Amino acid sequence: MKVQIDPARCQGHGRCYDLSPDLFTEDDEGYGQVVGDGVVPPGGERAARVAVSNCPEKAIVLVEEA
C-alpha cells in the first residue's frame, strides 16, 4: 500500500501530518508531503486510512499494490 498526495488538490490544511506524522510531513509552505516514497510500512494501514478520510480536500490517494 502506498499513499500519494495530489498537489493540485492539497491546500495545506495539514490534517495528514497532524494525524499520521509517520507517513506525512509539511513543506515550507505548509502543504502536505509524503514521507519517503509513500510506501505504508506494516501496521501503518490504519494511519493511512485515517489521513485519507480526514483530508478536507480529498487530496490523498491510497494505492493498493497488487
The smaller minimum CB distance to other proteins, of residues 8 and 66, is found at 8
Q: Between 36 and 65, how does the x/- string for binding to other proteins read (CB under 8 A)?
A: --------------x--xxxxxx-------
Report, in Å, the least distance between residue 53 CB and other proteins: 5
Contact in structure between 25 and 36 (CB atoms under 8 Å): no
d(CA 39, CA 65): 10
Residues 6+ apart with CB under 8 A from 35: 22, 23, 24, 25
The residue ranges that bind other proteins (CB under 8 A) are 11-14, 17-18, 26, 28-30, 50, 53-58
